[in-house]
Structure 1
Amino acid sequence: MDELEKNSGEKGVVFQSEEKASPVSGRFAADSISSRESDTDGDDALKLVGKERTVEFSDEFNRKLRWKLDLLIPPLCGAVYLTQFLDKTSLNYASIMGLPITGQHYNLVALAFYIGFLAFEFPSVYLSQKSGKVAKYLGANIVIWGAVMMLHAVGTSFGAFFTLRVLLGMCESCTAPSLILIISMFYKKDEQATRISWFYVMVHKINQNGLSQIFGGFVAYGVSFSENPHIAPFKIIYVLLGGLAMLVGFAVLLWMPDSPMTARFLTEEERIACLERVRNDQGGVANKSVKKGQIVEAFTDIRLWLIVLSTLLVNIPNGISSFSNLVIESFGYTSRQTLILSTPAGAFACASTLLCGWYSDRKNERMVPIVFALIPTIVGAAMLVALNDSGKKGALLFAIYLLGTSGSTLSTIYAYNASNTSGYTKKSTVNAVTLITFGIANIVGSETFLPKDAPDYIPGKISILVLLIAQLFVSFLLRWINLRLNKKKTAQIEELKRRNGWNDADVQKEREKHAFMDLTDKENIYFVYTA
């Protein structure tokens, strides 16, 4: 064992303890198994890898494993998020394609989605945790909401659309929390923001920018040429998008893994390596037990409430997502021109999301990328207000494009939660609260763009400007808090070293023992926050 510890830091070689056979065989000595005994207080990963690291994998092996993960998990997450956003914002396309719902009824139908979303967020998150099948639960919900989407083509009354949008919100409430949990299970902290940006690039909360807007805009443009007297163009949109959702749902059910421990596309050796990759992050993997203490800690953590405030500030402007085509049309463009002119914004917004995700992991930052993303949006909102009635169509359209950069803020908030929260129940709670806040923000946002303010919607545009400026200050406050907490933990570890006569190797051993104990970030002295 001494020789193992001496050489375990070398690269390119797999080291194993003498007491443990190759992980390929899947056979462990009795003393190794005893360290993996079931512990309901600990993480499910303990059953496979135990409290102490007993095997090291080479850098080359880990790179190949990460590539294997990247070929499956982010693409499936991207397909899910693309589908969800297309379905959620299908109302925006339908609004200029013969939808029989107009005026205040349209506003109510727009916010109905978030009523269902809010009502089912907490139940959905905890049902997912208790089932222990986060991916299967997600896949089943996608199939159901695909069917609900297709039913939109049947209803024509306000009551029918309102009810279907509520059901759609209920089914889609599990999407973001499930995807964040899956990413945090399989990827290290310095990989999470990039992977989240890969699936979030499918959408953008302002102006629906992203690949979903490019894809959806061209689909809607093609459907707009339909002259079938038996089915309105907006009904065709709902049938197509509903069918796509069902296909994605079946793909998730078949291929998305619930956790590293049960990932069928990985060998047993790769499952162990996957867990060992994330051990030092101290974030844990999975636990079916809903722990009341972790829920209490989540609600008494000041950072949660600052994340709530951040989510409100950056998502209330999301109100424009259901009105962006109407705003562009008000510049003097036709309906068909509007559908095409809104699509280039997607390329600009995609670049913003990917760049912020890359920078976030590269520099181990979460709040600074948010600030970078907000500044162009603030400029765009100011242009929309200042140039209103100027007749400068090109400048106003460019301002709409600039609004898309702030869409990456929500993906960075997701990454912040994934990297800065430990304890499976606490993580689930924080994600649920964040998404509930997201729903509330969108309900409020939909009421900032009122019919009486059409077509200029000046109050709504001013709200974007004011709220995002406020978020700049909140971002710096959250960053300062995390850095301060890290300093406190560093001082506590130094005190432990002094009191117990530990060296750095001893501290590392203790850190590894704590990794899969399902401790919260506050309980675990070795957890390091990402600024």
Structure 2
Amino acid sequence: MTTVQERRSIEKVPVSEKVLVRDEEKDALDATTTVSADSIDGDEALQLVGKERSAQFSEEYYAKLRRKLDWMIPPLCAAVYFTQFLDKTSLNYASIMGFPITGQHYNLVSLAFYVGFLAWEFPTVYISQKLRVAKYLGANIIIWGIILMCHAAAQSFGAFFALRVLLGMCESCVAPILILLITMFYKKDEQGVRISWFYVMNGLTGVFGGFVAYGISFDDGHLLAPYKIIYLLLGGLAIIVGVCVVIWLPDSPVHAWQLTKEERIACLERVRDDQSGMENRHWKKDQIIEAVTDVRTWLIALTTLLTSIPNGALSNFSNIIIKSFGYTSKQTLILSTPSGIVAAFTTLACGWYSDRKKDRMIVIVACLIPTIIGSAMLIGLNDSGNKGALLFASYLIGTFGTALSAVYAWNASNTSGHTKKNTINAITLSTFSVGNIIGTEIFQPKDAPGYIPGKIAIMVLLSAQLFVSFLLRYINQRLNKQKMAALEAEKAKRGWTDEDVQRERERHAFVDLTDKQNPYFVYTS
């Protein structure tokens, strides 16, 4: 922990003086980087801590601070994701509770959400970088809560389609902002677990939503149709969560009013060595170019697409599939809940493992294999009449959703430069929406009740994703070897000691360099 004298020195020395002193001591930054750290428009963190480590804190202090952050950030992120996934999949519950839109029109209403999501993804990421991200997120949640409640008043296909488009637009900001917040407050080997803590809500909403829908299904619909009650209830919940986010979720360590000045400095120093940067409100053309010319960007987009097509199908048709086994609507609502438990357990286990082993892609492979097996069982046992085996297969399929959580964690751990982060997150989420749009169309009404072509498509797509995951893992391992060789050569050329390297690493942390520009950035496989 800092001493009283250290804290006073931090407050007395302006950031500009701290930077200037260091600039006079060193000739230039590492020659292996193509961008000078002194010429870059740096992160907002520089205003608080400067280019050099401004204070030393004990591990006990950092552990106490991390516990405080864990009680403040992940619970609100989880509430947001819980609300978002529940609202997005409300159509799945409504589909067997008297929803008036059926057949191909139902498919179109399903994909409308992702049309809005896709159309607004890049604009919302651009706007969020210009504003305080948590406040922007909270405002979107409140608006989509109102939109969701309006579903109860809609009567026609056109009205439902338009409302679902607006819902998708508002919800498109969620994942990029939550990922960004996690990267700002947590170290690389902590991010997978924290992302799993909010992504686990995808599974838990399946349990919660199933039981809520089951209870509402007993209503006789005398005053309101059961599906309308679902929309009113979930919309009201979203508004409450949105207000909480506006009030209590911090925008960044620099602007976290919930922390003391010392704690805000400690937050920044704790993540300095990760070289991931903090926040910058200026869009940078060179970082956008780097993002779109990086082959890994498009490989991660491909793996997102291969995951999202099954997601678009199953998030809207899973209850219809289970009901096709021969169960009633009420039985289906209850029997669908265990798949949520499977998904939640897989997400938490994989998040823990990926941080412990610093390996994201093996986690993706591990959670895809059960889904591939489950899909094969659904195809092979389609006409068997074995309801128990078919139900078990439907639960196995729930593991694939964890892959997207691992993709989020991969982006968080392998991208630096604020504009590049936002660009890659926008591309990832845009691909997510494209995949989900396609997914809503692979279960065609003419293929009911077995939907065999759709199930075959899921099995083939996820099998292909295994190869993409291994390729991404290999590329990152190769890049790390190249960076290590270049750094060793630079050490020999300049006669640097390990202490010199660490000092230069600290100077690069908050100058908003990309992972490729920064020679000290280490990729996570």
Give 2:261's aligned residue: 268
Which amino acid letter does the alignment assign opposite residue 12 of structure 2?
A: F
Instruction: Indicate the RMSD between aligned Cα atoms, in angstroms.
Output: 1.5
Could you tell me whether the CA contact under 8 Å between 1:145 and 1:245 is conserved in 2? Answer: yes
CA gap of 1:165–1:25, structure 2 versus 1, over 3 A, is farther
Which amino acid is 2:182 matched to? I
The TM-score, its normalising length taken from structure 2, stands at: 0.95
Match of 1:10 in 2: none
Alignment partner of 1:504 out of 498, 508, 514: 498
Give the conservation status (yes or no) of the 8 Å contact 1:214–1:344.
yes
Quote the offset at 1:302 in angstroms. 0.2
For residues 329-368 of structure 1, what are the structure 2 equivalents within 5 Å? 329-368=323-362
1:143-195 deviation line (CA, Å, top 9, x unaligned) = 00000000000011000000000000000000000000000000000000000
CA–CA separation in structure 1 for the residues paired with 2:14 and 2:44: 19
Contact 1:23 1:268 in 2 (8 A): no
Moved more, 218-227 or 137-146: 218-227
How do 1:215-254 residues align onto structure 2 when only pairs under 5 Å count? 215-254=208-247
Shift of the 273–154 alpha-carbon distance from structure 1 to 2, 3 Å rule, reads same
Q: Aligned-pair distance for 1:27?
A: 1.8
Say yes or no: does 1:189 pair with 2:188.
Answer: yes
Cα pair 1:26 1:268 within 8 Å, conserved: no
Q: How far off its partner does 1:344 sit?
A: 1.5
Pick aligned residue for 1:413 from 407, 416, 422: 407
Q: Does 1:68 align with 2:68?
A: yes
Q: TM-score, normalised by structure 1?
A: 0.94
Q: How does 1:90-169 map to 2 (within 5 A)?
A: 90-131=90-131, 133-169=132-168
1:435 aligns with 2:419: no
CA distance in 2, matches of 1:384, 1:325: 14
Moved more, 32-41 or 241-250: 32-41
Partner of 2:12: 28
Deviation per CA, 1:195-233: give whole Å up to 9, x if none.
000000000xxxxxx110111111101111112412100
Matched residue SS, 1:35? helix
Mapped to 2, the partners of 1:247 and 1:24 lie a distance apart of: 41
Does structure 1 residue 171 correspond to structure 2 residue 200? Answer: no
Q: CA deviation at 1:26?
A: 6.3
Structure 1 position 264, deviation (Å): 1.1
Question: Does structure 1 retain, via aligned residues, the 8 Å contact 2:151–2:163?
Answer: yes
Any conservation in 2 of the 1:24–1:269 contact (CA below 8 Å)? no
Corresponding residue to 2:513 among 510, 519, 523: 519
Q: Tell me, yes or no, if the aligned pair for 1:121 and 1:436 is still in contact at 8 Å.
A: yes
The percentage of aligned residue pairs carrying the same residue is 67
Q: Is contact 2:18-2:52 (8 Å) kept?
A: no
1:22 shift after superposition: 3.6
Residue by residue over 1:281-310, the C-alpha shift from the partner in whole angstroms, topping out at 9 and shown as x without a partner, is 000010000111101110000000000110
Provide the aligned length of Structure 1 versus Structure 2: 508
> For structure 1, which runs of at least 5 residues remain unmatched after alignment?
1-13, 204-209
Q: 1:477 aligns with which of 471, 477, 491?
A: 471
8 A contact 1:21–1:27 mirrored in 2: no
CA contact under 8 A between 1:36 and 1:51: conserved in structure 2?
no
For each residue in 1:37-72, what CA deviation from the matched residue of structure 2 results, as whole angstroms up to 9, or x when unmatched?
998710110110110113111111000100000001
Instruction: Give the letter for the 1:518 counterpart.
Output: D
**How many angstroms apart in 2 are the aligned matches of 1:320 and 1:167?**
22
Alignment partner, residue 50 of structure 2? 50
**Which aligned runs of 4 or more in structure 1 are off by greater than 4 angstroms?**
30-34, 36-40
Which residue of 301, 318, 337 corresponds with 1:308? Answer: 301
The residue type paired with residue 303 of structure 1 is R
CA distance in structure 1 between the partners assigned to 2:433 and 2:267 by the alignment: 34
Q: 2-side partners of 1:501 and 1:26: how far apart?
A: 31
Cα-to-partner distance string for 1:437-493 (whole Å, 9 max, x where unaligned): 000000001110111111111011001110111111111100000000000000110
Q: Which runs of 5+ in 2 are unaligned?
A: 22-37
How many angstroms does 1:33 deviate by? Answer: 4.5
Counterpart of 1:35, as a letter, is V
